[in-house]
Amino acid sequence: MIKNNKWASLYLVVVFILLYTPIAYLIFYSFNEAGTMNQFSGFTLEHYAALAEDTRLMIIALDTIRVALLSALLATTIGTLGAIGIYYSRRRETQNLLLGFNNILLVSPDVIIGASFLLLFTVVGFRLGFYSVLLSHIAFSIPIVVLMVLPRLEEMNENMITAAKDLGATNWQVLKEIILPNITPGILAGYFMAFTYSIDDFAVTFFVTGNGFATLSVEIYSRARQGVSLEINALSTVLFLVAFSLVAGYYFIQKQQRTRKLAHMDPTNHEKAVTP
Amino acid sequence: MLTEEIIVSFDQVEKKYDKESVLKTITFELERGKFYTLLGPSGCGKSTILNLLAGFTSPTEGSIYLNGEDTKNTPPNKRKVNTVFQDYALFPHMNVFDNVAFGLKMKKLSKEDIKKKVSAVLKLVRLNGYDEREITGMSGGQKQRVAIARALVNEPDVLLLDEPLSALDLKLRTDMQYELRELQQRLGITFLFVTHDQEEALAMSDEIMVMNEGEIVQTGTPIDIYDEPINRYVADFIGESNIVKGRMIEDYVVSFAGKSFQCVDGGMNPDEKVDVVIRPEDLVLTEAEKGALQIRVETQLFRGVHYEIVGMDNDGNQWMVHSTKKTEPGRRVGLQFEPQDIHIMRINETEESFDERIENYSAPASFSVEEGDRLDG
Is residue B1 predicted with pLDDT exceeding 50?
no
Q: Region B201-221: what's the mean pLDDT?
A: 92
Judging by beta carbons within 10 Å of its beta carbon (0-12, 13-18, 19+), is residue B282 exposed, middle or buried? buried
* Predicted local confidence at residue B360, as pLDDT: 78
Q: In what order do the strands lie in the sheet with B81-84?
A: B81-84, B158-162, B190-195, B35-39, B207-212, B215-220
Q: Is A275 in the B-facing interface, judged by CB distances under 8 Å?
A: yes
Extents of the domains making up chain B:
6-227, 240-348
CA distance A134 to A121: 12
* Predicted local confidence at residue A37, as pLDDT: 76
How many angstroms away from the CA of A254 is the closest CA of chain B? 16
* Chain B CA closest to residue A157: B89
The angle, 0 to 180 degrees and rounded to 10, between the axes of the packed helices A130-155 and A92-107 is: 140
Question: Percentage of chain B with pLDDT > 70?
Answer: 95
Is residue B241 predicted with pLDDT exceeding 80?
yes
Residues in A closer than 8 angstroms to B77, CB to CB, are: 165-170
* Predicted local confidence at residue B265, as pLDDT: 85
* A173 → closest Cβ in B54, B90, B106: B106
Q: Is B175 in the A-facing interface, judged by CB distances under 8 Å?
A: yes
CA atoms within 13 Å, Cβ hemisphere of B75: 9
CA distances A267 to A262, A263, A270, B98, B139, Å, are 10, 9, 8, 22, 12
Three-state DSSP at B361 gives helix
Least confident of A172-181, A253-262, B89-98, B317-326: A253-262
Subunit contact B89:A170, Cβ cutoff 8 A = no
* Chain B CA closest to residue A167: B103
* Predicted local confidence at residue A261, as pLDDT: 58
Q: Is A164 in the B-facing interface, judged by CB distances under 8 Å?
A: yes
* Predicted local confidence at residue B170, as pLDDT: 85
Segment holding A135, helix H or strand E: helix A130-155
3-state per-residue secondary structure call for B270-321? CCEEEEEEECHHHCEEECHHHCCEEEEEEEEEECCCCEEEEEEECCCCEEEE
- CB contact residues (below 8 A), chain B span 40-59, against chain A: 54, 56
Three-state DSSP at A75 gives helix
CA distance A223 to A216: 10
Given the cut 0.85, state whether the ipTM is greater than it: no
Subunit contact A182:B93, Cβ cutoff 8 A = yes
CA distance B266 to B365: 15
- Band (pLDDT 50/70/90 cuts) for residue B364 is very low
* Chain B CA closest to residue A173: B106
* Chain B CA closest to residue A174: B106
User: Higher model confidence: residue A226 or residue B30?
Assistant: B30
Subunit contact B172:A168, Cβ cutoff 8 A = no
Judging by beta carbons within 10 Å of its beta carbon (0-12, 13-18, 19+), is residue B301 exposed, middle or buried? exposed
- Whether B187 and A204 have beta carbons less than 8 Å apart is answered as no
Residues in A closer than 8 angstroms to B126, CB to CB, are: 274-276
Is residue B211 predicted with pLDDT exceeding 60?
yes
- Whether B116 and B143 have beta carbons less than 8 Å apart is answered as no
Q: Which long-range contacts (CB under 8 A, 24 or more apart) does A246-253 make?
A: A246/A192, A246/A196, A250/A192
CA distances B310 to A241, B300, B302, B305, B332, Å, are 79, 6, 12, 16, 12
Subunit contact B154:A167, Cβ cutoff 8 A = yes
Q: Region B3-31: what's the mean pLDDT?
A: 87
Q: Which domains does chain A have, with CATH numbers?
A: 54-230 (1.10.3720.10)
pLDDT digits (tens, 9 = 90+) for B102-148: 999 999 999 999 999 999 999 988 888 898 889 988 888 899 999 99
- Band (pLDDT 50/70/90 cuts) for residue B366 is very low
Mean pLDDT of chain B: 87
Q: Is B107 in the A-facing interface, judged by CB distances under 8 Å?
A: yes
* Predicted local confidence at residue A263, as pLDDT: 53
Q: Is A163 in the B-facing interface, judged by CB distances under 8 Å?
A: yes
* Fold entry, domain B6-227: Rossmann fold (3.40.50)
* A73: amino acid identity, one letter: L
Selected for mutation to probe chain B from A157, A167, A177, A268 (highest B CB count within 10 Å) is A167
* Fold entry, domain B240-348: OB fold (Dihydrolipoamide Acetyltransferase, E2P) (2.40.50)
Instruction: Evaluate the CA torsion angle B188, B189, B192, B197 in order and state its sign.
Output: negative
The list of chain A residues with pLDDT below 70 reads: 1-4, 228, 257, 259-276
Q: Region B313-324: what's the mean pLDDT?
A: 90
Pairing of strands B332-336, B284-286: antiparallel
* B113: amino acid identity, one letter: D
pLDDT digits (tens, 9 = 90+) for B259-309: 889 888 888 888 889 999 999 999 999 988 888 889 999 999 998 889 999
How many angstroms away from the CA of A165 is the closest CA of chain B? 5
Subunit contact A166:B54, Cβ cutoff 8 A = yes
Q: Is A172 in the B-facing interface, judged by CB distances under 8 Å?
A: no
Question: Percentage of chain B with pLDDT > 90?
Answer: 44
Q: Is B102 in the A-facing interface, judged by CB distances under 8 Å?
A: yes
CA atoms within 13 Å, Cβ hemisphere of A204: 25
Subunit contact B137:A157, Cβ cutoff 8 A = no
CA distances A149 to A85, A86, A88, B241, Å, are 11, 11, 13, 54
Cβ count near A159 (within 10 Å): 17
Judging by beta carbons within 10 Å of its beta carbon (0-12, 13-18, 19+), is residue B324 exposed, middle or buried? exposed
Instruction: Evaluate the CA torsion angle B161, B167, B170, B172 in order and state its sign.
Output: negative
Query: What's the N-to-C CA distance of chain B in angstroms?
Result: 9
Is residue B207 predicted with pLDDT exceeding 90?
yes
CA distance B370 to B377: 16
* Predicted local confidence at residue B104, as pLDDT: 94
Selected for mutation to probe chain B from A155, A160, A166 (highest B CB count within 10 Å) is A166
